[in-house]
C-alpha cells in the first residue's frame, strides 16, 4: 500500500499540466473549460490506474505528465466534435428520417449561405419600403407550381396539419376514414393531432373499405371538414376501397364543406416513369378539388424541413391570422432553401438532376452498378487485406414514410470483415468522422451507392481502411 502512496505523490496537479506548453497551444483552439475538464479526467484515470495496477510503471513526473497530455488530447478532440455530424449514408434509404431526410441542391445551399451571412428582406418589401410578409417569399412559386390560389409555409407538415385542422374545425367535427388514421412516427397520430387542434374526430367506414356514402351519412350540423390522409407509410391491400379526393370534393361541393388532403410526402413530379409507384401529385390533388393540401418540404420534394399548405385563398387567409401560425413559423434559412428548391421545379427535367432526392430516386441501375463497381475497387485497394469485397443485387428504399412498397433495384457492395465481427465493424464506423452507416444482413455490411455521391466514394474507402487498420494494429 505504501508503494501506491509513493506513486500517487508523483501525480502532477491540474495546474501543473495546465501550465505546460502543449496545453497552452491547445488553449488557443479550444475553450478553457473543456481543456481543464479533460485534464481532470485524464489525471483521474492515471490515478485509478496507479492504484489498481500491481506492476509499477516508471514513476517519473515527466512520464506522468506526458501520459496525462495524451489523455487530454484525445478527450479534447472527443469533446470538440460537434453533436450534429456528417454521415455517409450507404443505407440506400433516400429519405432517411434519422439521417436528416433530404440533402439540399447546390442552389438551395447557396441560398442558405447567403441568408446566413447577410441581412435580408425577410419582412421588408423592397419595392414599397413597407413591412413585408415572410410568407409571400415562396407563395408565388407555390401558386404557380401547384395551381392553388394561395399558399403558406410553416415549420413542418405535422404543424401544417395542426394549423389547418385547427383553423377549419376547432370545436367542431372532422370526418376521417378508419383506413386513414395514420401514425407517422414519434407521437404524430391523426387522432392525437385532431385532439390537439381542438377538433372532434368522426371516424367512418372500416379499416379496409370506406365508401363515399359513409362520409355522406356521417355529415351533420357539427361537421366542418372532410379530411383525406395519405396512408404514407403503409398500404392496405386486397379487398379494399378508398374514397378519392375527387369524390370527397364533389361531396364537399354539394354540402358546402371544405375538403382537406394531407399528402404527407407531397411531390410535384410524377415518378412512375422511373419505375416508382404512381401517386397523385400536389397539382393533381388541387385539380381534383381539394380546398387545402398539406405536405412536407423535406420528403419527396427534396427541400428543407417545412410544412407546405396550399389551397383556396379565403381559407389560407384565415390560417395566416391564426396565432398558431406565429408559433409554427418557418425561419429565414428554411425559406431561402425552400425558395431555391421550388425554383428548380420550374424546369422539371432539370429538377430531376439538380434536386438530390430526385436524382437518387431516378438513378438508373446501370449508373448504380458503375458506382458500386468503382466503390468495390476503391475498397479493395484501401482495405482489401481486411475485408472480403463483393457485389450483390438488392433493393433501395424511398424512406421518410413514402412509397413503402417501392423497392427500386440496386447493386450493393457487400463487405465481410476477416478479423472483426460485423457488429464491431459497424460500431466503429459510427464513430469515425464522417460516420459511415450501411445495412447489415447475413453477417455482411451492405453499402448502397444510390445514396452516396461520386465524390464520397473515396472517402468511404478511406474510412473503412482507417477502421480496419486501427483494429489489427
Ligand X SMILES: *Cc1c(COP(=O)(O)O)cnc(C)c1O
Return residues touching ligand X (CB under 6 A). 156-158, 161, 182, 184, 188, 229-230, 232, 262, 264-265, 296, 307, 401
Residue closer to ligand X (CB basis): 308 or 415: 308
Measured distance CA(383)–CA(371) in Å, rounded: 18
Residue closer to ligand X (CB basis): 266 or 408: 266
The least CB distance from residue 306 to ligand X, in Å, is 7
Q: Return the residue matching grid coordinates 488557443.
A: 28
Q: Return the residue matching grid coordinates 455482411.
A: 444
Residue closer to ligand X (CB basis): 229 or 340: 229
Residue closer to ligand X (CB basis): 155 or 410: 155
Residue closer to ligand X (CB basis): 304 or 408: 304
Helix axes 332-344, 106-117, angle to 10 degrees: 150
Residue closer to ligand X (CB basis): 87 or 301: 301
- H-helix or E-strand spanning residue 246: helix 245-255
Residue closer to ligand X (CB basis): 291 or 456: 291
Find the angle CA(61)-CA(62)-CA(67) to the nearest 5 degrees. 95
Measured distance CA(127)–CA(130) in Å, rounded: 8
The least CB distance from residue 146 to ligand X, in Å, is 17
Read off the DSSP letter of residue 131: B
The least CB distance from residue 164 to ligand X, in Å, is 11
Residue nearest to ligand X (CB): 264
Retrieve residue 24's grid coordinates. Answer: 497552452
Residue closer to ligand X (CB basis): 38 or 156: 156
Residues 6+ apart with CB under 8 A from 250: 289
The least CB distance from residue 262 to ligand X, in Å, is 5
The least CB distance from residue 450 to ligand X, in Å, is 21
Measured distance CA(152)–CA(311) in Å, rounded: 9
Cβ 116 vs Cβ 71: under 8 Å = no
Residue closer to ligand X (CB basis): 108 or 429: 108
Measured distance CA(345)–CA(144) in Å, rounded: 10
Backbone angles phi, psi at 294, to 5 degrees: -120, 145
Q: Return the residue matching grid coordinates 407550381.
A: 145
- H-helix or E-strand spanning residue 228: strand 223-229
The least CB distance from residue 398 to ligand X, in Å, is 12
Measured distance CA(278)–CA(285) in Å, rounded: 13
Residues 6+ apart with CB under 8 A from 348: 268, 269
The least CB distance from residue 7 to ligand X, in Å, is 57
The least CB distance from residue 165 to ligand X, in Å, is 11
Measured distance CA(316)–CA(291) in Å, rounded: 10
The least CB distance from residue 259 to ligand X, in Å, is 15
Comparing CA positions, the residue from 101, 95, 85, 90 lying closest to residue 439 is 90
The least CB distance from residue 156 to ligand X, in Å, is 3
Backbone angles phi, psi at 430, to 5 degrees: -75, -15
Residue closer to ligand X (CB basis): 39 or 184: 184
Comparing CA positions, the residue from 95, 177, 110 lying closest to residue 408 is 95
Amino acid at each position: 500500500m505504501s508503494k501506491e502512496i509513493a506513486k500517487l505523490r508523483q501525480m502532477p496537479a491540474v495546474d501543473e499540466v495546465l501550465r505546460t506548453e502543449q496545453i497552452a497551444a491547445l488553449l488557443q483552439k479550444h475553450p478553457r473549460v473543456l481543456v481543464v475538464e479533460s485534464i481532470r479526467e485524464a489525471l483521474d484515470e492515471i490515478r485509478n490506474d496507479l492504484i489498481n495496477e500491481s506492476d509499477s510503471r516508471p514513476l517519473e513526473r515527466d512520464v506522468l505528465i506526458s501520459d496525462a497530455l495524451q489523455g487530454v488530447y484525445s478527450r479534447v478532440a472527443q469533446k470538440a466534435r460537434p453533436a450534429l455530424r456528417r454521415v455517409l449514408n450507404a443505407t440506400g434509404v433516400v429519405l432517411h428520417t434519422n439521417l436528416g431526410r433530404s440533402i439540399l441542391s447546390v442552389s438551395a445551399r447557396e441560398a442558405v449561405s447567403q441568408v446566413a451571412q447577410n441581412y435580408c428582406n425577410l419582412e421588408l418589401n423592397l419595392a414599397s419600403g413597407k413591412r413585408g410578409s415572410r410568407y409571400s417569399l415562396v407563395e408565388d412559386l407555390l401558386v404557380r407550381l401547384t395551381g392553388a390560389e394561395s399558399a403558406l409555409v410553416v415549420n413542418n407538415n405535422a404543424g401544417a396539419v395542426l394549423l389547418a385542422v385547427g383553423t377549419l374545425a376547432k370545436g367542431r367535427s372532422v370526418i376521417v376514414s378508419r383506413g386513414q388514421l395514420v401514425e407517422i412516427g414519434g407521437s404524430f397520430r391523426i387522432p392525437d393531432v385532431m385532439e390537439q387542434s381542438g377538433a372532434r374526430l368522426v371516424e367512418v367506414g372500416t379499416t379496409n373499405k370506406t365508401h363515399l356514402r359513409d362520409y355522406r351519412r356521417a355529415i351533420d350540423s357539427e361537421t366542418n371538414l372532410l379530411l383525406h390522409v395519405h396512408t404514407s407509410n403503409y398500404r392496405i391491400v386486397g379487398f379494399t376501397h378508398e374514397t378519392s379526393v375527387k369524390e370527397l370534393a364533389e361531396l364537399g361541393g354539394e354540402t358546402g364543406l371544405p375538403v382537406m388532403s394531407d399528402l404527407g410526402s407531397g411531390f410535384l413530379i410524377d415518378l412512375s416513369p422511373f419505375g416508382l409507384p404512381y401517386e397523385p401529385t400536389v397539382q393533381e390533388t388541387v385539380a381534383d378539388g381539394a380546398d387545402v393540401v398539406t405536405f412536407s418540404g423535406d420528403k419527396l420534394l427534396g427541400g428543407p424541413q417545412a410544412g407546405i399548405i396550399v389551397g383556396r385563398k379565403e381559407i389560407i387567409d384565415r390560417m395566416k391570422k391564426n396565432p398558431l401560425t406565429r408559433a409554427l413559423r418557418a425561419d429565414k434559412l428554411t425559406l431561402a432553401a425552400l425558395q431555391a428548391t421550388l425554383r428548380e421545379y420550374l424546369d422539371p427535367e432539370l429538377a430531376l438532376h439538380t434536386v438530390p432526392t430526385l436524382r437518387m430516386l431516378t438513378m438508373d441501375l446501370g449508373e448504380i452498378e458503375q458506382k458500386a463497381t468503382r466503390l468495390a475497387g476503391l475498397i479493395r485497394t484501401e482495405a482489401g487485406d481486411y475485408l472480403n469485397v463483393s457485389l450483390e443485387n438488392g433493393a433501395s428504399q424511398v424512406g421518410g414514410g413514402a412509397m413503402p412498397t417501392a423497392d427500386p433495384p440496386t447493386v450493393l457492395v457487400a463487405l465481410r470483415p476477416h478479423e472483426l465481427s460485423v457488429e464491431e465493424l459497424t460500431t466503429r464506423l459510427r464513430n469515425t468522422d464522417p460516420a459511415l452507416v450501411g445495412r447489415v444482413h447475413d453477417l455482411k455490411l451492405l453499402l448502397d451507392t444510390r445514396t452516396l455521391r461520386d465524390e464520397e466514394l473515396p472517402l468511404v474507402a478511406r474510412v473503412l481502411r482507417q477502421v480496419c487498420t486501427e483494429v489489427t494494429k
